[in-house]
Structure 1
Amino acid sequence: NARKNHIDCLVCLGGNGTQKNAMRLHEAGLDVLTLPKTIDNDVAGTDITFGFDSSMAIATEAIDRLHTTASSHHRAIVCEIMGHKAGWLALGAGIAGGADVILLPEIPYDLEHVVAHLVERRHHNKRFSIIAVAEGAVPKNDKNRAERAQPQEEVEGLIQEPVASRVAREIQQAAGIEVRYTSLGHVQRGGSPTATDRLLSTRLGTKAGELLHDGVYNVMVGINGNDCVAVPLAEVAGHTKVVPPNHPWLKTAALVDTCLGDKIEFKE
């Protein structure tokens, strides 16, 4: 069809699945060019993806709103946030929204450590807590960790118990405090994009137009610092960008006394 319609290059916008399929098309003989579009911010070769800021803003507002009920009813509330197998959304929204606990796929959580943090807050007369949980969060030393890390709809084709539900039940049983949970689900994927995402996508789009004009194919247009750059698709496809152990956001969260699920040592 591409040859019949005289298509010089197919432009693909999307996340990791899109990047991998674009690479397959390239290997089959079709020139491609891709842009990183996903709320998960987990595409390799770019500092940020468009869609991420909008989704993070929605999750941050949700955490803000949960503070009202949590504080008035003296409860702990678990909020499940998307992100696939990476914790960027939960970490960013958790810090921005003032979550007291943030659980990420990159840091398997120790339930005893989390409970101790929540109990200590109560001892200091902080009668409520907000726990931001990434959908890929898994407990430490869990034999089923690999399976639990899969998004709900991908495990044996069945809808599994929400991660937030499991975490809420575990905390309530271990700490003896009243816990509620909510899962934002696909609410995070829609609505009006932020100005930051509109600017980012326009910059990437115009850079893609320039590359197409110059005949530069089989690359992804990414962001490196303040620059739009062409990244070889081979360096992107099949790679996932997760939160590194020394990322500044993790250090920031720790410095404002946010529990990250386990004890963490930051190397200088």
Structure 2
Amino acid sequence: MSSQIGILTAGNDSPGLNAAIRAFGKTARSEFGMHLIGFQDGFQGMAEDRAIPLEGDLLSGILTQGGTLLGTSPDHPLEGSHPELTASILETYRRRQLDALICLGGRETQASALFLARQGLNILTLPRGIDNDLPETDLSIGCDTALGAAVEAIDRVHSTASSHHRILIVEIVGQYSGWLTLGAGLAGGADVILIPEVPYHIRKVADAILERRQAGKRFSIIAVAEGAMPYEQIQFFERSRKANQSLRQGDDRDRVAAQLHEIERQATRGNTLLLANRLESFTQLETRTTILGYLLRGGTPSATDRILATRLGTACAALVHENCFGLMVGIRQGVATPVPLEKVAGGCKTVPLDDPRLDSARRVGTCLGDSYPSA
């Protein structure tokens, strides 16, 4: 009897997911004789047993399509939350007599996969994420396409900024890591690059723009990650965190720490508009903002993402055949490499402060908003 394999996509969509589904499905079916079931709309769809057989016709012609043919949803069976969702997923897995479940997704999906693996399910995952913040993989599915779209957007706003002599701020996805913003800013020739890993001083940014103005350059482009924060805000949250930790102990302290983390995440929303207002006040120069958002998640996957998804999908099928589970299949130094989910779940890959790209940015005169001398 052939193996019964389930597959789903969860969390956000990204270019290359269909290519990964295709690669896994074609390999699993033709090389190993597996029967493949796709669950629609992520973990919620699996909980409701909304399944479709992934036959040959459905796997054809999807290599170049963006999004995911299976659909997705934000619901995740994370530990300590949604117990009904978890129970229904376990019931569907057993009723369908699945031999394995393949999950394609980002950080929350990886954490959910580990949780389900600890409930006894045979789980394998593939990394998805346009901001490329998943640890233990050099690239995540979708990040190369998003990089191309972000660079094109910066290229396009150059003409408007130049024509109107404006400061033009481009906000790029990256709540916790600045890989996408740093890459797009470098490739697009941004004059200022602001990322979460490097807290910025608004006066440093303003001075850099005014120096450009004095040198006869009548516009400036700023690439900013959505999670970039001014130094003053970092200091405020650090003081709040230390104060709460001194007052709380044990489980209650952990709960408060989690609440503070969520407050910090929410506080970064609107930071780009605040940056624009403060810059206009400091420089007296007209400032406009473009938020790329969902634009970066759509569209046809790049050649790099199609190849990456195909390599990861085929490697994943081989691991199922070898009964190797509890793993994410990442790419490390050009090689498809399985890593334990324990090393992935709960982690975030951030830009190291000694990353050579940061050094290159500084050497070509790009302002990162840091190292402002104390008043």
TM over 0.5: yes
Q: Give the 5 Å matches for 1:151-230.
A: 155=266, 162-230=270-338
When residues 161 and 207 of structure 1 are mapped into structure 2, their CA distance, relative to the original with a 3 A threshold, is: closer
Deviations 1:141-161 (A, max 9, x none): 2125866752xxxx39xxx86
Aligned to 1:11: 102
Aligned to 1:85: 176
The structural deviation recorded for 1:261 is 1.2
* Amino acid across the alignment from 2:287: V
Q: Does 1:102 align with 2:210?
A: no
* Amino acid across the alignment from 1:174: F
CA RMSD of aligned residues (A): 1.6
Work out which of the two has the higher radius of gyration on C-alpha atoms and give 1 or 2: 2
The structural deviation recorded for 1:184 is 0.9
Structure 1 gaps of 5+ residues are: none
The structural deviation recorded for 1:256 is 1.1
Aligned to 2:351: 243
Deviations 1:54-91 (A, max 9, x none): 11111110000000011111111011111221111111
Alpha-carbon distance in structure 1 between the residues aligned to 2:192 and 2:264: 19
When residues 175 and 144 of structure 1 are mapped into structure 2, their CA distance, relative to the original with a 3 A threshold, is: farther
Alpha-carbon distance in structure 1 between the residues aligned to 2:273 and 2:167: 12
Q: Does 1:44 align with 2:135?
A: yes
* Amino acid across the alignment from 2:115: R
Q: Give the 5 Å matches for 1:8-157.
A: 8-142=99-233, 143-144=236-237, 149-150=264-265, 155=266
The structural deviation recorded for 1:217 is 0.6
* Amino acid across the alignment from 1:7: L
Alpha-carbon distance in structure 1 between the residues aligned to 2:262 and 2:116: 30
Deviations 1:172-197 (A, max 9, x none): 11111111111111111111111110
Per the alignment, in what secondary structure is the counterpart of residue 150 of structure 2?
Answer: helix
Q: Which has the higher contact order (CA 8 A, sep 6+)?
A: 1
Give the structure-2-normalised TM-score: 0.66
* Amino acid across the alignment from 2:211: E
Give the structure-1-normalised TM-score: 0.92
Alpha-carbon distance in structure 2 between the residues aligned to 1:148 and 1:248: 32
Q: Does 1:232 align with 2:337?
A: no
The structural deviation recorded for 1:2 is 1.0
Alpha-carbon distance in structure 1 between the residues aligned to 2:166 and 2:282: 15
Greater fraction of residues in helix: 2
The structural deviation recorded for 1:163 is 2.9
Q: Percent identity?
A: 48
Alpha-carbon distance in structure 2 between the residues aligned to 1:258 and 1:133: 13
Aligned length: 257
When residues 149 and 132 of structure 1 are mapped into structure 2, their CA distance, relative to the original with a 3 A threshold, is: farther
* Amino acid across the alignment from 2:323: G
